[in-house]
């Protein structure tokens, strides 16, 4: 309850119920002290002053008694936890939840169940317009966006070289998860609530169309919570007053408070995801109507870097007429609110019974039809005529197309990925060198270590790239922040009959015959890697293999001979495009996916030219023939 009083030239001065009660209590306390006399007057005056200060003094959007209650709760709760696996992360952030197996039109899915309702998760391949996310009460939507800028925040030639590819480069990683929540009504049977959740999710999938990659099953749901939390398994999570630390990373959560007239825009969301941090996570809660609420979580390598990113965040929001409120003392509950669980932020705890207004609804709680807007989570309208949700190019930059725009691939994905490169060892090294700039850990299984020695020397002892013999038997687990790239350097000693290739830029180190070696160990490792998330296997071939090319998730081709192009054209059903594969310029690369064939000029940087050389593949039979211009 609040009472508005006219002050000055018509401005409203709001008096809250807890202030009225505390003022009356202070007056009674002083009156009792006066009646008792002597020392009682002094004690009563001190008590009344403290009571008034607790209820009338406001610091950073909280009353003093709320800060005191928050400090008491922070001091008495457990603030350290060892997380052994992704399930432990879910249990920490959302205790009491359970996963229920569901089926959506023949596709496996999972329902997150808690005391307040049911939530289902959908991964988005592309971001739709905000108008697509219109909902019917009481269903509530939460869109979680995460982005990791490139290169990663570390020194080294790989990061320096990748930065030289262009300013304001694309994100290294980006994910979008939509949480669809149906609140639990009083005395509603579980079966009816489950039917409502699946029906709402089916309806949203129909509206999203091709934007939705599909619902997440139980394993993927647990994994995505761990990925978005930016907490690696087998680490210790510690909560301090100013943030969270786990595995060498520090995190802090902020609330976006807009000034009157300020609104969300696609440009603002894109700039937020490009903050100078390890990752930035945006939790956008969409309620019925045009308004939304926004929480921001930034992750950085240590507290000093976190404070630098926080200052950048405040400057960015200030330029958009918004402010950043930091959840000091409440970062673990705030972390949970930025995950696609649609759980509410905790309301400030009362210092005394009856002094706190009724708890307001946070993200994930149903809003009563007559409930006022939540003052703790400001409502942010979108800018007029703005789609709000931005297009976010992301991935590894291979080169540029004929328009000069970046050509990107996504070699690192939540599931295992198989990439095949038909080309030179230098081209493979260039791709690996750029993958290091994205934070990847690279394991090269090869019998030709001398071919990789120059690159290893240039990396000056960077342990992110290691060489192994073909008998490598274990692959470390990958994660969203540190994906694993297993390189199989299994180059045949001689090309198929009639296919001869040479390198006009000079002989490539190690391209000589390595002698026949067994690939049994390497194949076993590749099989192990093919079942792990955030693990990519890259097979490097000097000459094309139709079966491997057809089974690849991503196929990269340097210029081919006409026979090689015909072989792959038939295997991949490329049609007339197959003829262009033998007419590419030496510095070009074809990117073949299930959807299309794209073309890129590798454009190596000066650092890459020194450490690797020119990554070209020139075909003898290609000389004196017309080549395809970029």
Full set of structural domains in the chain with CATH: 2-56 (no CATH), 80-337 (no CATH), 396-622 (3.40.50.300)
Task: Identify the CA nearest to 582 among candidates 592, 595, 569, 573.
Answer: 569
Q: Give the mean pLDDT of 556-564.
A: 93
Instruction: Please compute Rg for the chain using Cα positions.
Output: 29
How many whole angstroms separate alpha carbon 535 and alpha carbon 486? 7
Residue 630 has pLDDT above 50, yes or no: no
Residue 15 has pLDDT above 50, yes or no: yes
Between strands 173-183 and 117-124, the pairing is antiparallel
Q: Give the mean pLDDT of 552-568.
A: 94
Q: Give the mean pLDDT of 246-256.
A: 92
Report pLDDT for 390.
81
Contact criterion met (CB below 8 Å) for 256 and 317? yes
Residue 261 has pLDDT above 60, yes or no: yes
Query: DSSP 3-state assignment of 172?
Result: coil
Q: Give the mean pLDDT of 571-578.
A: 90
Task: Provide CB contacts within 8 A for 228, sequence distance 6+.
Answer: 144, 146, 175, 177, 281, 338, 339, 340
How many whole angstroms separate alpha carbon 257 and alpha carbon 376? 9
Question: Considering only 58-67, 101-110, 297-306, 582-591, which range has the smallest mean pLDDT?
Answer: 58-67
Give 144's strand partners: 177, 283
Residue 423 has pLDDT above 70, yes or no: yes
Q: Give the mean pLDDT of 452-478.
A: 85
Contact criterion met (CB below 8 Å) for 349 and 70? yes
DSSP label of 67: H
Q: What is the pTM of this model?
A: 0.80
Q: What is the pLDDT of residues 339-363, one digit of tens each?
A: 998 776 654 333 323 222 333 333 3
Q: How far is CA 379 from the centre of its chain?
A: 24
Residue 541 has pLDDT above 50, yes or no: yes
Dihedral over alpha carbons 426, 413, 333, 145 (to 10 degrees): 90
Task: Identify the CA nearest to 91 among candidates 109, 112, 70.
Answer: 112
Of the two residues 100 and 3, the one the predictor is more confident about is: 100
For 499-511, b/e burial (b = at least 16 CB within 10 A) is: bebebebeebbbb
How many whole angstroms separate alpha carbon 160 and alpha carbon 428? 19
pLDDT tier for residue 32 given thresholds of 50, 70 and 90: confident
Residue 375 has pLDDT above 70, yes or no: no
Query: DSSP 3-state assignment of 224?
Result: helix
The angle at the Cα of 416, spanning 412 to 422, to the nearest 5 degrees, equals 70
Q: Give the mean pLDDT of 99-123.
A: 90
Q: Give the mean pLDDT of 96-123.
A: 90
Sheet strands (E) in 129-273: 140-148, 173-183, 212-215, 235-239, 244-246, 249-258
How many whole angstroms separate alpha carbon 166 and alpha carbon 446? 32
Residue 403 has pLDDT above 50, yes or no: yes
Q: Give the mean pLDDT of 397-422.
A: 92
Dihedral over alpha carbons 50, 51, 55, 61 (to 10 degrees): 30
Task: Identify the CA nearest to 31 among candidates 18, 44, 19.
Answer: 44
Contact criterion met (CB below 8 Å) for 118 and 182? yes
pLDDT winner (highest mean) among 69-83, 309-323, 502-516: 309-323
């Amino acid at each position: 309850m609040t009472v508005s009083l006219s002050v000055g030239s018509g401005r409203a001065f709001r008096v809250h119920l807890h202030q009225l009660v505390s003022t009356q209590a202070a007056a009674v306390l002083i009156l009792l002290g006066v009646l008792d006399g002597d020392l009682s007057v002094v004690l009563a005056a001190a008590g009344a002053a403290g009571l008034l200060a607790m209820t009338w003094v406001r610091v950073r959007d909280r009353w003093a008694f709320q800060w005191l209650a928050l400090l008491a709760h922070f001091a008495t709760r457990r603030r350290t936890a060892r997380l052994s696996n992704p399930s432990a992360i879910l249990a920490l952030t959302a205790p009491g939840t359970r996963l229920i197996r569901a089926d959506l039109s023949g596709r496996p899915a999972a329902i997150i169940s808690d005391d307040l309702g049911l939530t289902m998760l959908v991964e988005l391949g592309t971001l739709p317009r905000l108008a697509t996310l219109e909902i019917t009460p009481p269903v509530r939507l939460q869109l979680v966006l995460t982005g990791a800028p490139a290169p990663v925040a570390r020194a080294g030639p790989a990061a320096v070289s990748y930065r030289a590819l262009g300013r304001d480069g694309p994100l290294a990683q980006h994910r979008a998860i939509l949480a669809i929540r149906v609140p639990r009504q009083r005395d509603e049977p579980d079966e009816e609530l489950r039917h409502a959740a699946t029906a709402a999710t089916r309806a949203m999938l129909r509206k999203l169309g091709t934007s939705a990659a599909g619902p997440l099953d139980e394993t993927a749901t647990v994994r995505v919570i761990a990925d978005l939390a930016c907490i690696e398994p087998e680490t210790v999570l510690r909560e301090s007053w100013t943030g969270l630390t786990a595995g060498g990373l520090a995190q802090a959560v902020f609330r976006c408070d807009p000034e009157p007239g300020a609104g969300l825009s696609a440009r603002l969301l894109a700039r937020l995801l490009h903050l100078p941090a390890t990752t930035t996570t945006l939790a956008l809660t969409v309620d019925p109507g045009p308004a939304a609420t926004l929480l921001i979580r930034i992750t950085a390598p240590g507290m000093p870097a976190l404070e630098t990113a926080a200052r950048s965040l405040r400057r960015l929001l200030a330029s958009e007429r918004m402010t950043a409120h930091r959840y000091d003392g409440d970062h673990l509950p705030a972390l949970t609110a930025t995950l696609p669980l649609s759980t509410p932020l905790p309301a400030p705890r009362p210092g005394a019974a009856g002094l706190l207004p009724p708890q307001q609804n946070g993200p994930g709680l149903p809003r009563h039809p007559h409930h006022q807007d939540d003052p703790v989570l400001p409502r942010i309208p979108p800018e007029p005529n703005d789609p709000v949700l931005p297009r976010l190019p992301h991935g590894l930059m291979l080169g540029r197309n004929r328009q000069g725009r970046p050509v990107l691939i996504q070699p690192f994905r939540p599931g295992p990925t198989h990439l095949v490169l038909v080309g030179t060892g230098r081209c493979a090294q260039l791709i690996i060198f750029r993958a290091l700039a994205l934070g990847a850990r690279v394991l090269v299984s090869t019998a030709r270590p001398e071919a990789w020695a120059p690159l290893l020397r240039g990396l000056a002892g960077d342990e992110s790239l290691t060489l192994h013999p073909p008998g490598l038997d274990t692959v470390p687990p990958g994660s969203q922040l540190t994906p694993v790239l297993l390189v199989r350097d299994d180059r045949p000693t001689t090309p198929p009959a009639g296919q001869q290739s040479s390198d006009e830029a000079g002989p490539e180190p190690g391209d000589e015959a390595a002698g026949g070696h067994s690939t049994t160990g390497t194949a076993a490792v590749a099989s192990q890697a093919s079942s792990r998330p955030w693990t990519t296997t890259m097979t490097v071939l000097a000459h094309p293999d139709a079966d491997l090319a057809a089974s690849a998730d991503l196929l990269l081709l340097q210029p081919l001979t006409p026979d090689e192009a015909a072989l792959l054209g038939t295997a991949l059903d490329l049609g007339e495009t197959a003829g262009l594969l033998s007419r590419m310029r030496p510095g070009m690369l074809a990117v073949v996916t299930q959807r299309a064939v794209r073309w890129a000029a590798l454009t190596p940087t000066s650092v890459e030219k020194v450490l690797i050389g020119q990554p070209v593949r020139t075909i003898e039979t290609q000389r004196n023939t017309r080549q395809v211009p970029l």
